[in-house]
């Protein structure tokens, strides 16, 4: 699916603004035909894109999980409507969306965090007239969806696995279950014959292969443009493929995020009938023994697991915060992050391409749980899992910043009995093979929790092993010497067993900013610093450890639970992006760490960007 683009053949109309919203806790909307006429009754204004939970907390929707009907009106210029196909593109609806235009059902999409398009052409009102758009968003989940969830009414919720872990709102994951139209909503127009998708593959030698999906059997031509818009190669398609070469190619890297542009023109009778411009970078990532090789150099990833979570907007699209987060990561010496635990806004990927950050791109398969040893009974979950991977790769395949696909995070977190068995092995092996079949140019990561350590079945089906570990926090709290020994033992045993590069994808300690102590005290800023640097002390000398991602970049909202005082406080920055004291220590450390190649560092900020040097 192509990112919306306006040019001589395409137009984009942003539907962002103040919409109407009506919650539907009793599920009366479908039967009552709420999609037919203007919403009535208890209707609220809501800013789109955005989550209803933060914006409408005072209207009783802070913890609301369920259906909410969204409504707006728009008009398409008559000239555009007459000559074009008209599409609705929703960049994310968490988690299911049903769409009506002028009372006509036009389509639906299941699965949050990822974009979908619907053809509006037949449902539009006459040219130049106002159109009535209604989107019913359902934020509820089930054991078959990705991510999964479990209802308090479910028998699973009363098992020993859930004792003392009940959350409000009920979730299987430790981040807030925001609902709504959380990213861009746009009307997009294309010609009647158009380019619907494109894939770009390149080699370090400058060989470029471009495929394009088009609506008819038309050919296309391609011009490759340099970063300063100079044509450096051109070619024509043959059987839907165009092969070109670039002399003396400039490689994309964090230190030099050089982007080429492929200008693709769809041809008919010698004339251009559609055009699309896709940026791309020439770079290579592969696994070689116990190392990740990036552009033929061993890679060490410094950075964070993150969340899309901000005051007021919740998970809503927030471009200034996207940029701020990348600049803070640049300042602290990070070169990478993981989209924990779901795909982030595609505008984040585009920003990372431009600024030179490396991304582990994760599907929302968080805290995955199996309820049977019969693989056939898991098929609905498995098919949704595959669909999420397919949609993610379709969206992000051309981004040079994306260097790995993460296909699951902490399966069996809730300790269901149906896990360490042949069914689980089959599930993850088939998922790995499916992902490789879609993209064999990027390594695949699977991320485990601590229960099964090096014996976790998920570690068999990946190219890079990710482990989330909290020795010294959730187990043997405060005892960091023992934590270091436990981590060292597991790292060595895991590499000996699998011979794959390992990343510690989560480690950290909840920290209340401004809380200090002269002795080892959990939740203090001193303990957070000691915890993180004990882990780094163990990880960094081991060459097979390919990266360290601190959990978390910033404090984030969670469901309510006795372990959480409103937020998960493991952030190195507060929720509103102020640094805790460990941030300055990490900045000194990462900016001088010899394991990070110079080419693998984004450009440093100017001196004095923040406090320049605190020892």
Res 508: pLDDT: 98
Task: Considering the candidates 308, 362, 391, 410, report the single residue annotated as catalytic.
Answer: 410
Beta strands in 126-190 (DSSP E): 131-138, 185-190
User: For this structure, is 410 an active site residue?
Assistant: yes
pLDDT (mean) for 513-519 = 96
pLDDT band at 613 (very low <50, low <70, confident <90, very high): low
CA proximity to 542, closest of 484, 461, 613? 484
Does position 206 have pLDDT exceeding 70, yes or no?
Answer: yes
**Average pLDDT score over the chain:** 95
Q: Which helix (H) or strand (E) holds 492?
A: helix 480-498
3-class state of residue 292 by DSSP? strand
CB 574 within 8 A of CB 513: yes
Res 348: pLDDT: 97
CB 39 within 8 A of CB 71: yes
48/33 Cα distance (integer angstroms): 23
The structure tokens 């409504």 sit at: 71
Does position 615 have pLDDT exceeding 90, yes or no?
Answer: no
Q: pTM of the prediction?
A: 0.96
pLDDT (mean) for 518-540 = 97
pLDDT (mean) for 513-540 = 97
221: Cα separation from own chain's centroid: 32
pLDDT band at 403 (very low <50, low <70, confident <90, very high): very high
Share of the chain above pLDDT 70, in %: 98
Res 220: pLDDT: 96
Res 216: pLDDT: 84
335/301 Cα distance (integer angstroms): 6
**Cis omega (within 30 of 0) for bond into 224:** no
Res 526: pLDDT: 98
The structure tokens 């494109």 sit at: 198
Domain ranges of the chain: 17-139+178-183, 195-280, 297-600
Tokens at residue 113, please?
């965090």
Res 79: pLDDT: 87
pLDDT (mean) for 155-183 = 85
CB 88 within 8 A of CB 106: yes
Tokens at residue 294, please?
């990036």
Tokens at residue 403, please?
């260097």
- 17-139+178-183 folds as Jelly Rolls (2.60.120)
- For 297-600, CATH number? 3.20.20.80
200 strand-pairing partners:
210
User: For this structure, is 82 an active site residue?
Assistant: no
Q: Which CATH number fits domain 195-280: 2.60.60.20, 3.40.50.300, 2.60.40.10, 1.20.120.550?
A: 2.60.40.10
pLDDT (mean) for 412-438 = 94
pLDDT in tens, 69-78: 999 999 999 8
CB 44 within 8 A of CB 56: yes
3-class state of residue 536 by DSSP? helix
pLDDT band at 607 (very low <50, low <70, confident <90, very high): low
pLDDT in tens, 334-347: 999 999 999 999 99
Res 151: pLDDT: 74
526/516 Cα distance (integer angstroms): 6
467/481 Cα distance (integer angstroms): 19
pLDDT (mean) for 62-91 = 95
pLDDT in tens, 440-486: 999 999 999 999 999 999 999 999 999 999 999 999 999 999 999 99
- In this chain, the answer to whether the domains covering 195-280 and 297-600 adopt an identical fold is no
Tokens at residue 371, please?
């309820």
Does position 404 have pLDDT exceeding 80, yes or no?
Answer: yes
pLDDT in tens, 298-321: 999 999 999 999 999 999 999 999
Res 164: pLDDT: 65
pLDDT (mean) for 178-185 = 97
2: Cα separation from own chain's centroid: 17
Tokens at residue 514, please?
């401004």
79-83, 279-283, 566-570: least confident range: 79-83
Task: Considering the candidates 71, 362, 506, 525, report the single residue annotated as catalytic.
Answer: 506
Residues 6+ apart with CB under 8 A from 260: 224, 225, 226, 227, 246, 279, 280, 281, 282
Phi, psi of 250 (to 5 degrees): -100, 120
Res 116: pLDDT: 98
pLDDT band at 153 (very low <50, low <70, confident <90, very high): confident
3-class state of residue 339 by DSSP? coil
Share of the chain above pLDDT 90, in %: 89
Does position 614 have pLDDT exceeding 70, yes or no?
Answer: no
For residue 192, how many other CB atoms are within 10 A of its CB? 12
């Amino acid at each position: 699916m192509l990112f919306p683009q306006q040019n001589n053949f395409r137009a984009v109309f942003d539907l962002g603004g103040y919409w109407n919203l009506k919650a539907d806790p009793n599920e009366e909307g479908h039967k009552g035909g709420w999609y037919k006429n203007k919403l009535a009754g208890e209707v609220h204004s809501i800013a789109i894109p955005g989550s209803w939970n933060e914006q409408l907390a005072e209207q009783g929707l802070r913890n609301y999980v369920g259906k909410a009907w969204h409504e707006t009106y728009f008009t398409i210029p008559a000239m555009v409507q007459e000559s074009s196909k008209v599409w609705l593109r929703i960049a994310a609806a968490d988690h299911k969306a049903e769409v009506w235009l002028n009372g006509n059902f036009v389509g639906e999409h299941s699965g949050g965090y990822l974009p979908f398009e619907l053809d509006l052409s037949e449902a539009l009102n006459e040219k130049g007239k106002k159109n009535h758009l209604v989107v019913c968003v359902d934020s509820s989940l089930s054991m078959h969806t990705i991510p999964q969830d479990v209802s308090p009414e479910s028998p699973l919720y009363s098992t020993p696995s859930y004792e003392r872990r009940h959350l409000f709102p009920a979730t299987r994951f430790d981040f807030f279950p925001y609902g709504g139209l959380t990213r861009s909503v746009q009307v997009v127009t294309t010609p009647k014959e158009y380019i619907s998708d494109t894939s770009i593959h390149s080699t370090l030698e400058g060989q470029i292969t471009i495929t394009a999906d088009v609506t008819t059997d038309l050919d296309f031509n391609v011009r490759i443009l340099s970063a300063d818009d100079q044509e450096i190669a051109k070619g024509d398609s043959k059987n839907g493929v165009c092969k070109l070469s670039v002399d003396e190619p400039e490689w994309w890297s964090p230190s030099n995020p050089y982007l080429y542009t492929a200008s693709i023109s769809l041809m008919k009778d010698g004339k251009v009938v559609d055009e699309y411009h896709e940026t791309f970078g020439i770079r290579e990532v592969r696994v070689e023994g116990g190392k990740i090789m990036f552009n033929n150099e061993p890679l060490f990833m410094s950075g964070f697991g993150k969340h899309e979570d901000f005051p007021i907007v919740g998970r809503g699209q927030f471009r200034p915060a996207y940029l701020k987060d990348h600049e803070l990561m640049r300042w602290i010496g990070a070169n990478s992050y993981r989209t924990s635990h779901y795909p982030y806004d595609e505008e984040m990927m585009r920003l990372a391409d431009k600024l030179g950050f490396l991304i582990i791109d994760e599907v929302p398969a968080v805290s995955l749980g199996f309820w049977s040893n019969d693989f056939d009974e898991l098929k609905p979950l498995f098919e949704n899992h595959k669909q999420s991977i397919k949609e993610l790769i379709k969206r992000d395949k051309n981004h040079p910043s994306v260097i790995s696909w993460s296909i699951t995070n902490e399966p069996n977190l809730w300790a269901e009995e149906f896990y360490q068995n042949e069914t689980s092995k089959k599930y993850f092996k088939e998922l790995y093979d499916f992902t490789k079949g879609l993209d064999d140019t990027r390594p695949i990561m699977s991320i485990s929790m601590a229960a099964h350590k090096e014996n976790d079945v998920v570690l068999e089906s990946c190219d890079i092993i990710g482990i989330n570990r909290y020795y010294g926090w959730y187990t043997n709290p405060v005892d960091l010497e023992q934590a270091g020994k436990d981590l060292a033992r597991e790292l060595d045993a895991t590499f000996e067993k699998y011979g794959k590069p390992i990343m510690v994808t989560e480690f950290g300690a909840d920290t209340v900013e401004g809380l200090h102590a002269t002795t080892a005290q959990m939740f203090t800023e001193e303990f957070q610093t000691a915890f993180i640097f004990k882990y780094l002390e163990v990880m960094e000398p081991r060459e097979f450890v390919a990266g360290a991602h601190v959990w978390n970049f910033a404090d984030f909202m969670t469901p309510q639970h006795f372990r959480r005082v409103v937020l998960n406080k493991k952030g190195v920055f507060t929720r509103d992006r102020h640094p805790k004291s460990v941030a300055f220590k990490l900045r000194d450390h990462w900016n001088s760490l010899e394991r990070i190649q110079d080419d693998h560092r984004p450009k440093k900020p100017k001196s004095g960007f923040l406090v320049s040097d605190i020892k």
